[in-house]
A = this chain, B = another copy of it.
């Protein structure tokens, strides 16, 4: 699936996170980049972006990377997540860079790093595992 196909899939299957306005900027066989635009609604008091919002960004990012390889299987499900919150993000857009570590017949694993646009410092990293239904 291409970036634009993933974007359409996201809008159609995950309307409940439409308010985040996530944008798939790049995808290939190993990597994906997803942008979370700065919006008032995702800011916490003090200007921080909430943990659950970053979790959503990480989860969607790797999920779409897996679907880009195997097609729009809405039944793939997240089975486990390990996530570190490293720093308070600077104001502005967040960029999630996902990488596929394994694509097996039953499990897929990806790693994602989140940083603020224009900054090299990581805000968070996560490893996520998805169970893939029999094909």
Question: Which A residues fall within an 8 A CB radius of B?
Answer: 13-14, 16-17, 41-42, 44-45, 50-52, 55-56, 59, 77-88, 101-102, 106-107, 109, 111, 122, 125, 127, 129, 131
Contact across chains for B111 and A131 when beta carbons are under 8 A apart: no
By a CB distance below 8 angstroms, the chain B residues around A56 are 52
Contact across chains for B59 and A51 when beta carbons are under 8 A apart: yes
By a CB distance below 8 angstroms, the chain B residues around A13 are 45
| 28 A-B contact pairs sorted by A residue (CB < 8 Å) | A13-B45, A14-B44, A16-B42, A16-B44, A51-B59, A51-B78, A52-B52, A52-B59, A55-B81, A77-B85, A79-B85, A79-B129, A80-B85, A80-B127, A81-B82, A81-B83, A82-B82, A82-B83, A82-B84, A82-B127, A83-B83, A84-B127, A86-B102, A106-B106, A106-B131, A111-B111, A111-B125, A127-B127
Residue of B nearest to A129 (CB): B80
By a CB distance below 8 angstroms, the chain B residues around A16 are 41-42, 44, 50
A127 and B86 CA atoms in complex are apart in Å by 12
By a CB distance below 8 angstroms, the chain B residues around A109 are 84, 86, 125
By a CB distance below 8 angstroms, the chain B residues around A81 are 51, 55, 81-83, 85
